[in-house]
Structure 1
Amino acid sequence: MKFFKDYDIEVIKLKEGKHEFSFPVTDEFFKHFEENEIVSKGNLTALVTLSKEANLIDAIFDIKGSVELTCDRSLELFDHPLETTQRVRYKYGPEEAEINEEIFMITRDTPKINVAQLIYEFIILAIPAKKVHPDHVYEMDEDDFEAEGELVYSSGDVEDEPSEQDEESSESEENTDPRWEALKNLKKKD
């Protein structure tokens, strides 16, 4: 694809030492990734610094800008500032292969490396798990987190008297289908 050629770095032509490359990451960039459900718009710059040595190429990806996200709470769109720095190493070897997330093997005659997929993955990894619109952050911190904690943890004394829910559940247990009781007995035997 012609678009991805703009994200090629011709490593075979590089001499040993440091080299910097800047890549724009705009809405057009995100359109080329089919699995893109999290981010479809953004305005970022990816600065890739390569340090070429005799046996490896060390690549540092410094990505800054903003992406458009959908708030998990209100479903409003908002611009989220994003800044991430990641490191990848390209080691020379007999064949091209991915050793792990941080180390790739390339041959000495590999003409170029494409960094588009790595830039995309680093952006996705930098997005927070809980996406909250800036207008709702303070409301959520004060109200929701305290309420969520009360639902999970009990900080007060437990009353000895049965509640209405306890009474209803005991009544429903009395009217249980005998087939379910037989299944429960099987479970207890294990």
Structure 2
Amino acid sequence: MKFWKTFDIEVIKFKEGQHEIDFEIDDKFFQNFEDNEILNKGKLTVRVIMEKGANVIELTFLIKGEVELTCDRSLEVFDHPLDITEKMIYKYGSEEREIDENVCMITRDTPSINVAQLIYEFILLALPAKKIHPDYRNDLDDDEDFATEGGFIYFDQEEDENEEKENQEDENISKPVDPRWEQLLKLKNKEQS
């Protein structure tokens, strides 16, 4: 319980204007999240710039540091640098609820906003889809048929279709054509003309 309290921003105590709140993230931070299988260690600093207005509170998160990851290819542990900037907006309303992923509604008498879960999610979202040790990043992938961008695999459909046509043409050349099929193809081509 004490852990969660350290990440409370007591918004009710702040006057309108800009304020900065700093947090330190270490290994203990990641141990407080049950579903955490990816991250166990890291050392980051979080600066939250809070812009408090009459009807809205805007939080800008500046997260810098390193987290320890395990390489997907070699299973070696390595430090991955992070430099994250994210925003969260809190609007005053009649009830507390999430409007969308970056906007929440809070009441005017909400005493504090806990940012631990937000920080954790921002860090998780900034991790690469493929965790590759820096020593292996320049190695070519074994599978050259796939082009990856941002962790997604894209197939070049046009290239696949061209290869398929070439293969069919090669098959047609190497196999003797049955004269009956040849006549049918000629009829078909005449109808299309």
Separation of aligned partners in 1, 2:142 and 2:50: 45
1:104 aligns with 104
- 1:132 aligns to what SS in structure 2? coil
1:73 aligns with 73
Separation of aligned partners in 2, 1:144 and 1:47: 41
1:53 aligns with 53
1:160 aligns with 171
- 1:108 aligns to what SS in structure 2? coil
Task: Identify, as 1 or 2, the structure richer in helix.
Answer: 1
Aligned pair count reads 158
- 1:15-26 pair list within 5 angstroms: 15-26=15-26
- 1:105 aligns to what SS in structure 2? strand
- After superposition, the Cα gap between the structure-2 partners of 1:124 and 1:143, relative to the gap in structure 1 and judged at 3 Å, is closer
1:36 aligns with 36
Separation of aligned partners in 2, 1:148 and 1:87: 34
- 2:20 aligns to what SS in structure 1? strand
> Greater Rg, structure 1 or structure 2?
2
1:87 aligns with 87
Question: What is the RMSD of the two structures over their aligned residues, measured on CA atoms?
Answer: 1.8
- 1:124 aligns to what SS in structure 2? helix
Separation of aligned partners in 2, 1:100 and 1:43: 29
Separation of aligned partners in 2, 1:148 and 1:97: 42
- 2:137 aligns to what SS in structure 1? helix
Separation of aligned partners in 2, 1:145 and 1:67: 29
Separation of aligned partners in 1, 2:128 and 2:143: 17
1:113 aligns with 113
Separation of aligned partners in 2, 1:97 and 1:30: 26
Structure 1-normalised TM-score? Answer: 0.78
Structure 2-normalised TM-score? Answer: 0.76
Counting aligned pairs with the same residue, the percent is: 58
Separation of aligned partners in 2, 1:148 and 1:55: 49
1:183 aligns with none
Separation of aligned partners in 1, 2:51 and 2:26: 26
Q: Report the CA distance between 1:147 and its aligned residue.
A: 5.4
The one of 138, 142, 145 equivalent to 1:144 is 142
- 1:101-153 residue CA offsets vs partner (Å, 9 max, x unmatched): 101111111111110000000000000111110000011xx34352546x975
- 1:4-62 residue CA offsets vs partner (Å, 9 max, x unmatched): 11111110010000000111111000000000011111111111000000000000011
Unaligned 5+ segments in structure 2 are 148-154, 173-193
Separation of aligned partners in 1, 2:171 and 2:59: 64
The list of structure 1 runs, each at least 4 consecutive aligned residues, that deviate by more than 6 angstroms after superposition, is none
Unaligned 5+ segments in structure 1 are 162-190
Q: Report the CA distance between 1:90 and its aligned residue.
A: 0.5
